[in-house]
C-alpha cells in the first residue's frame, strides 16, 4: 500500500533519506573547515529529527524561542543559543533554563544587557546581535560606537559572558544564483570581522563570529573568518532555495500532499484542499511571477519533478489555486492528490505540526 492511499487531508510528507543526506553534507562541510556547526532547529522542531543530527556529531544547537529551547532541553540538548533578541519579560524563565543548560542569548541594546545583568542569577553566554546588511534588526555593522557601548555594559555584569558577534545574512535569500548568495555571505562575514576588530581596538577581548543562513552555507565550501555556522532550512530546502540555486530538486525533503477538490479548465486552474494555513503565504519568483509553491504529482518514491509551467498562484485560508497546462488538467480527476513544494519549508512545517514519512510513519513535532 502506498503512503498516498492513507492521505485524506493536507499532509506534510517527509523524505527521510533526503533530509539525512542534507544533514550529513552540511556537517561534513563544517568539519572539513573546522567551524562549529550549530544548526538552527526552528526548521524541523522535532525530537526525533534532532536525533538525526546527533548521529552526525552535532552537540550544540540554535532555536528561535524560549519555548523551543525548553522543548529541546527536555530531550537532552544542553548547549543552546536562542537566536532571537532577548525578551526581558522572560528573564525568570531564561534563568530557570540557564540553571540547567549552557544557554546563549542575543543582545542588541544597553537596556537589554542591563536588565539581563540585574535579573539573571545563572551565568549565560551573550552574543551581540549584528545587522550585517539584511536590515531586519541588530546593531548596525557600521556603528561600532553602539557595539562598544553594549559590549561595555555586558562586560560590567559578572553573570554575562560576552561570547561573540552573531548575524543572519538574510539578504542571501534574494540572490539570483549561488555566486550572488556566496558573495552576500562573504560580505556579511567581512563586516562582522570589521566590527570585531573595532571592538578589540576599544579594549574588548577577542570575540567569536557566528553566521547563519542556508543559501550562503550551501553555496560556499569555506567560511573564512567565521567560527560558527547556524543554517536551518537546509535540512528540507524548498522552492525559494531551489530558485536561488542553494539546492537541487532532489535535495528538497518535504512536500504538502493536498486533495484536489475542483477543476476549472476554462481558466486553466485547479483547486486543492491546502491553503495559507498549510503552506503559509510566503512567495518566491518563478517564471516571471510570484508563486506560493511548485506543483508535483505523487510518485513511487515520493513526488515527481515539478509540472512544467505550473505553480500555486493564489491562496486563501483553506484553498490553493493552481495554474496548470491544459494537458495536465486533462489527466487529473477530483479526489486525486497533488504534492506542493512550499515556498518556505520552515513556515509550512510550523503550520502543519507533524510529518508523515514516505513509508507511512508519523513523526510528531513541538506544538506551542
Residue 70, pLDDT > 90, answer yes
- Predicted local distance difference test score (pLDDT) of residue 364: 95
Cβ distance 296 to 308 under 8 Å?
A: no
Name every residue whose Cβ is closer than 8 Å to that of residue 223 and which is 6 or more positions away in sequence. Answer: 33, 35, 189, 211, 217, 229
3-state DSSP assignment of residue 359: coil
pLDDT confidence tier of residue 247, bands split at 50, 70 and 90: very high
Distance CA 149, CA 11 (A): 49
Tens of pLDDT, residue by residue over 73-107, are 999 999 999 999 999 999 999 999 999 999 999 99
Angle at 35 between CA 151 and CA 61, to 5 degrees: 75
Residue 1, pLDDT > 80, answer no
Cβ distance 82 to 64 under 8 Å?
A: yes
Residue 170, pLDDT > 80, answer no
Beta bridge partner(s), residue 340:
256, 295
Cβ distance 217 to 169 under 8 Å?
A: no
Distance CA 192, CA 321 (A): 43
Distance CA 274, CA 339 (A): 10
**For 168-172, 231-235, 288-292, which range has the lowest pLDDT when averaged over its residues?**
168-172
What are the Cα distances from residue 221, in Å, to 106, 229, 324? Answer: 27, 12, 38
Q: What average pLDDT does range 162-169 have in this prediction?
A: 95
Residue 368, pLDDT > 70, answer no
Beta bridge partner(s), residue 319:
273
Distance CA 234, CA 218 (A): 8
- Predicted local distance difference test score (pLDDT) of residue 223: 95
Neighbours of 40 (CB within 10 A): 24
pLDDT confidence tier of residue 37, bands split at 50, 70 and 90: very high
**For 19-28, 118-127, 136-145, which range has the lowest pLDDT when averaged over its residues?**
136-145
Proportion of the chain above pLDDT 70, given as a percent: 99
- Predicted local distance difference test score (pLDDT) of residue 133: 80
3-state DSSP assignment of residue 343: coil
Radius of gyration of the chain, Cα coordinates, nearest whole angstrom:
22
Angle at 26 between CA 283 and CA 57, to 5 degrees: 130
pLDDT confidence tier of residue 246, bands split at 50, 70 and 90: very high
Domains of the chain: 3-11+248-364 (2.40.37.20), 16-238 (3.20.20.10)
Residue with cell 486563501: 316
Distance CA 156, CA 237 (A): 42
Distance CA 85, CA 69 (A): 14
What are the Cα distances from residue 155, in Å, to 129, 223, 325? Answer: 15, 28, 62
Cβ distance 45 to 64 under 8 Å?
A: no
Name every residue whose Cβ is closer than 8 Å to that of residue 300 and which is 6 or more positions away in sequence. Answer: 2
Residue 176, pLDDT > 90, answer no
Closest CA to 238 of 230, 247, 229: 247
Distance CA 330, CA 323 (A): 13
Residue 173, pLDDT > 90, answer no
Q: What average pLDDT does range 323-329 have in this prediction?
A: 97
Residue 118, pLDDT > 80, answer yes
Tens of pLDDT, residue by residue over 256-314, are 999 999 999 999 999 999 999 999 999 999 888 899 999 999 998 999 999 999 999 99
- Take residue 177 and report the three cell numbers written for it: 544564483
End-to-end CA distance of the chain: 34
The distance from CA 58 to its chain's CA centroid, rounded to whole angstroms, is 17
Phi-psi category of residue 310: left, alpha or beta, with phi > 0 → left and psi -120 to 50 → alpha = beta
Residue 184, pLDDT > 70, answer yes
- Take residue 99 and report the three cell numbers written for it: 540553571
pTM recorded for the entire structure: 0.96
Report DSSP state, residue 234: G
Q: What average pLDDT does range 316-332 have in this prediction?
A: 97
pLDDT confidence tier of residue 169, bands split at 50, 70 and 90: confident
Amino acid at each position: 500500500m502506498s503512503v498516498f492511499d492513507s492521505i485524506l487531508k493536507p499532509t506534510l510528507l517527509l523524505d527521510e533519506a533526503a533530509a539525512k543526506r542534507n544533514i550529513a553534507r552540511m556537517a561534513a562541510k563544517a568539519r572539513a573547515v573546522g567551524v562549529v556547526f550549530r544548526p538552527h532547529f526552528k526548521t524541523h522542531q522535532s525530537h526525533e529529527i534532532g536525533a538525526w543530527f546527533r548521529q552526525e556529531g552535532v552537540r550544540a544547537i540554535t532555536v528561535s524561542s524560549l519555548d523551543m529551547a525548553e522543548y529541546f532541553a527536555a530531550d537532552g540538548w544542553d548547549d543552546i543559543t536562542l537566536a532571537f533578541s532577548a525578551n526581558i519579560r522572560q528573564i525568570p524563565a531564561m534563568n530557570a533554563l540557564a540553571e540547567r543548560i549552557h544557554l546563549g542569548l542575543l543582545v542588541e541594546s544597553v537596556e537589554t544587557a542591563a536588565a539581563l545583568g540585574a535579573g539573571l542569577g545563572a551565568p549565560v553566554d551573550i552574543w551581540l546581535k549584528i545587522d550585517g546588511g539584511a536590515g531586519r534588526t541588530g546593531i548596525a555593522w557600521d556603528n561600532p560606537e553602539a557595539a562598544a557601548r553594549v559590549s561595555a555594559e555586558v562586560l560590567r555584569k559578572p553573570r554575562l559572558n560576552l561570547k561573540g558577534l552573531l548575524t543572519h545574512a538574510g539578504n542571501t535569500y534574494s540572490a539570483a544564483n549561488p555566486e550572488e548568495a556566496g558573495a552576500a555571505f562573504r560580505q556579511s562575514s567581512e563586516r562582522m570581522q570589521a566590527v570585531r576588530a573595532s571592538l578589540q581596538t576599544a579594549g574588548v577581548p577577542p570575540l567569536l563570529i557566528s553566521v547563519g543562513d542556508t543559501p550562503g552555507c550551501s553555496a560556499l565550501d569555506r567560511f573564512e573568518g567565521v567560527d560558527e555556522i547556524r543554517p536551518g532550512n537546509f535540512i528540507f530546502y524548498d522552492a525559494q532555495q531551489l530558485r536561488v540555486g542553494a539546492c537541487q530538486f532532489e535535495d528538497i525533503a518535504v512536500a504538502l500532499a493536498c486533495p484536489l477538490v475542483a477543476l476549472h479548465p476554462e481558466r486553466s486552474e485547479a483547486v486543492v484542499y491546502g491553503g495559507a494555513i498549510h503552506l503559509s503565504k510566503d512567495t518566491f519568483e518563478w517564471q516571471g511571477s510570484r508563486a506560493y509553491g511548485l506543483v508535483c504529482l505523487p510518485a513511487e518514491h515520493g513526488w515527481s519533478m515539478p509540472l512544467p509551467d505550473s505553480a500555486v498562484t493564489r491562496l486563501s485560508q483553506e484553498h490553493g489555486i493552481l495554474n496548470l497546462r491544459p494537458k495536465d488538467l486533462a489527466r487529473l480527476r477530483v479526489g486525486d492528490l497533488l504534492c506542493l513544494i512550499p515556498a518556505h519549508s520552515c513556515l509550512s512545517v510550523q503550520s502543519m505540526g507533524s510529518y508523515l514519512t514516505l513509508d507511512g510513519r508519523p513523526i510528531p513535532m513541538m506544538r506551542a
